[in-house]
Structure 1
Amino acid sequence: MSQELMIMLERAFEESTKLYKERGFQRRIGFGKHPALINVDLANAWTRPGNPFTCDKIDDEIIPGVQRLMKKFRAKGFPIVHVTTCYQNTDRNDPNTDMGQWHNKIPVDVVNQSDENLWAIDSRIAPIEGEFVLIKKRASSFSGTSLAGYLRSAGVDTILVTGVTASACVRTTLCDGLAEGFRTIAVKECIGDRVPGAVAWNLFDIDAKFADVETVDTCLDYLATAGQK
């Protein structure tokens, strides 16, 4: 992101913070007792070069941060959910496609279920035995899936969300997670996007309305004292 754009965003954040605070926004939801980690769309189509969905800062920020979180989650025995997106029928002319209408806005037709390499979780943060891999068809990881029920059955009250994109699948996952009654934490360094400024703006706005935006280090400090089920 250019310095000029960052300066403009900081000015916007400063003005917006005044308004939000005056009206009672930007409250803190805090961490609970039993967390789960939800990695949203950190699959090859989003993390590797050469795809329409490829996002920025994957190699130098997002993957290393997620690796640190996963190491602690595994050591503590807390649930990890790996979310990805793909479609069985990517024929845009077929009214029975499982893409719904989304293909009329974005190129979801490139993520065909028959090519597992596209929607497989990035090997650098690959699932291990016992970790839930969830395939979704919509932006939110909760919409039309079993995620909420899975988390409740595991006794989860807090979700730490990472992944892409800040403006779509991560944001809607956090919004729906809050609506489902979970404490929602957006992990700052582990959320990405394709568009300059999208991460900064969305994290600012998410922190005001739908989740607490916390650093990896703060999340690791929390995990060190969180009680296991």
Structure 2
Amino acid sequence: MEKEIFDLGLLNEAFKKAREIHMSRGFQKRVGYGKRPGIITVDLANAWTRPGHTFSCDNMEEVLPAVLSVLDAARAKNVPIFHSTTAYNPNGYSDIGRWADKIPLETLKMGEDWIDIDTRLNPQPEETVFVKKMASCFNGTPLQYWLTTHGIDTLIVMGATAGACVRHTCMDSTELGFRTIVPEGTIADRIPGAVEWNLFDIDAKFGDVEPLETVINYFSTIEAFEKRESESTVL
């Protein structure tokens, strides 16, 4: 096994000092929770969650159970849950865009099992699954419309990757007026330090990175959503 040369302890020490600087200048305030949460899982499809794909992420054996614990707490209150995946039409890739000039999007092919939401998250029939083409779950999708239709004021973001799709979804969520919450332990990436750095920066500027148990306990404080049996949407 290759020796680990990444020193996470040094990074955490740097973050400790950086937090002091931020807080002395008025950064890292708390957004807090609202009364009507929604959940978005970002690209927790097989291409990210299982080994063997170009987009495979690390530590999924820890991340997925943490995500599931939040989902189960939310399901008990019928909280609206949305699952995103990213895929492109292999018949010419006319929908792939300039992002493919930077990363291997051509490996995310519509119709393959790789783009299906990981079954370990136990997605339910009434939960919305949708395909996006860019990093943010809001970019070119109806997500904002769905959230406002449900009266959502708080968006809980979980998934992959920290440095791209999760980060951009959090940024857009805040810019669109939602309280943005990221539970610790529910975010993945492919390289050492990416999760830690991006969660540090999200917590400083765009949303609240919260302990997992705090987020789970939050659901016990809200009123249950009305169950809509005909709500399932699969695009």
Question: What residue identity is the alignment partner of 2:65?
Answer: P
1:8 CA drift (Å): 1.8
Contact (CA 8 Å) 2:6, 2:192: kept in 1 or not? no
Partners of 2:143 and 2:122 lie apart in 1 by 19
Partners of 1:28 and 1:16 lie apart in 2 by 17
Contact (CA 8 Å) 2:33, 2:179: kept in 1 or not? yes
Residue in 2 aligned with 1:67? 68
Q: Percent identity?
A: 45
Taking the TM superposition and a 5 Å limit, the aligned residue runs for 1:176-215 are 176-215=172-211
Partners of 2:13 and 2:186 lie apart in 1 by 24
Residue in 2 aligned with 1:100? 97
Contact (CA 8 Å) 1:171, 1:206: kept in 2 or not? yes
Residue in 1 aligned with 2:9? 7
SS of 2:171 mapped into structure 1: helix
Partners of 2:24 and 2:11 lie apart in 1 by 20
Partners of 1:169 and 1:81 lie apart in 2 by 15
Partners of 1:10 and 1:215 lie apart in 2 by 16
Aligned residues: 223
Residue in 2 aligned with 1:20? 22
Q: Does 1:118 align with 2:114?
A: yes
2:46 to 44, 47, 51: 44
Contact (CA 8 Å) 1:90, 1:110: kept in 2 or not? no
1:187 CA drift (Å): 1.2
Contact (CA 8 Å) 1:63, 1:190: kept in 2 or not? yes
CA deviations on 1:33-72 (whole Å, 9 max, x unpaired) are 011111100000000110010001111x211011111111
CA deviations on 1:60-117 (whole Å, 9 max, x unpaired) are x2110111111111111110111100001464xx6xx2110111100110011032x0
Partners of 1:130 and 1:2 lie apart in 2 by 43
Normalising by structure 2, what TM-score?
0.91
CA deviations on 1:145-171 (whole Å, 9 max, x unpaired) are 100110010111101111000110000
1:18 CA drift (Å): 2.2
Question: What residue identity is the alignment partner of 1:77?
Answer: N
SS of 2:95 mapped into structure 1: coil
Mean CA deviation greater in 36-45 or 61-70: 61-70
2:221 to 207, 215, 225: 225
Partners of 1:66 and 1:54 lie apart in 2 by 17
Contact (CA 8 Å) 1:177, 1:184: kept in 2 or not? yes
Partners of 2:29 and 2:4 lie apart in 1 by 30
Partners of 1:3 and 1:201 lie apart in 2 by 17
Partners of 1:35 and 1:26 lie apart in 2 by 21
Unaligned runs of 5+ in 2: 226-235
SS of 1:103 mapped into structure 2: helix
Backbone CA RMSD of aligned residues:
1.6
Moved over 4 A (4+): 1-4
Unaligned runs of 5+ in 1: none
Question: What residue identity is the alignment partner of 1:110?
Answer: T
Mean CA deviation greater in 66-75 or 40-49: 66-75
Contact (CA 8 Å) 1:35, 1:78: kept in 2 or not? yes
Partners of 1:17 and 1:25 lie apart in 2 by 9
1:216 CA drift (Å): 1.6
Question: What residue identity is the alignment partner of 2:147?
Answer: L
